[in-house]
Amino acid sequence: MTTNLLDYDLQGLTAYCEQLGEKRFRATQLFRWIHHKGATDFEQMTDLARSLREKLVGTSRVQGPKVVSRHDSADGTIKWLFDVGAGDVIETVFIPEADRGTLCISSQAGCAMGCRFCSTGHQGFSRNLTTGEIISQLWFAEHFLRQHLGREERVISNVVMMGMGEPLQNYSQLLPALKVMLDDHGYGLSRRRVTVSTSGVVPMIDRLARDCPVALAVSLHAPEDVLRDNLVPLNKKYPIAELLQACTRYQAAAPRDFITFEYCMLDGVNDQPEHARQLVSLMQAHATHGLSCKFNLIPFNPFPASGLTRSEMPQVVAFAKILMEAGIVTTVRKTRGDDIDAACGQLAGDVQDRTGVDRRMAAQRQGMLRGIKVVVVNRSEV
């Protein structure tokens, strides 16, 4: 069985080359051929010694993901489905804008978090992706787009770990992938332009701050614990106070001077003026400890199993106004790729659920809906 070199960051590739009896600088040459040029054929790597190329042919491969399908949106968004074996298919999305090209990458086949507004969570969880499976999404998309667009310069300027899965639950495989993204011999992305999104795995937020602090986005979606328990089940383990304390600690190492909080706007659930005022109070309380934040309000992308609907735009605008009048930087995310099910919360791929989450969520759905209605009537939370 040959080794897929996409599984290595530069440090790992250096160790691998040393095992082959090669000097360290050969790893840098090889790394650049793979990531800068997208090469898969060792014979193309003409500045490598022939003896090394012969060793690599017998021991190694550069194997990207198998494309199942590609979908192009009317707005220019592209979604790929990649086969990662054993019946699992993951999704990756490229979002072009005038001043940037953003790639949304998956970290797991499925997701075990079970957030009520996310179709991936309703699909269940199969397994963690390997480092190679994570970075190969960027490797494939970057070199495909260069060829497709007829460009030699870099096309993807931003990466967001906001695809399928909870990145911080696959930390050991995520970390080397992040290092490849940031390495000047890899993709040379700035820490400000690589974002890890998490539903709030507190211990791993602290580890990321120590190991590889990139931009952090936190899926908040509620201003208090009762409501967030229903929307983001992980909150029962790491409640809001603990999560915001971790965010405050992270900010000291973060490449940006704020933490982004994502807030999915759900009609009649978390979008009322009182919810906005609760958010203001919550953020002002933590600002005294050094937390600076930005809010990204996300239009919900409905799917039948959720039992939820999208907030009307006037409600979203009124909600945003309350936050902005309190001095909180607030944006409303523009929905992209929804005609190809590539928008936020829509990525579902096709995975072999090993968790039985769909059955469990179906059994709980009616009770959860009743619980949320009580919260909204009593606390009017958005």
Q: Which two tokens stand for residue 304?
A: 């039948």
Q: Taken in order 130, 135, 141, 146, is the CA torsion positive or negative?
A: negative
Is residue 154 classed exposed, middle or buried when 0-12, 13-18 and 19+ CB atoms within 10 A define those classes?
Answer: middle
Helices 171-182, 131-149: crossing angle, 10 deg rounding: 30
Q: CA-CA distance, 288 to 104, in Å (whole number)?
A: 33
Give residue 136's identity as a one-letter amino acid code.
S
- Catalytic annotation, residues: 91, 344
What are the structure tokens assigned to 166, written together? 């909870």
**Does residue 22 sit in helix, strand or coil?**
coil
Backbone angles phi, psi at 296, to 5 degrees: -115, 105
Separation of CA 246 from chain center: 19
Residues 266, 250: Cα–Cα separation, whole Å: 28
Where are the strands (E) in 220-320, listed by range?
A: 259-265, 293-299
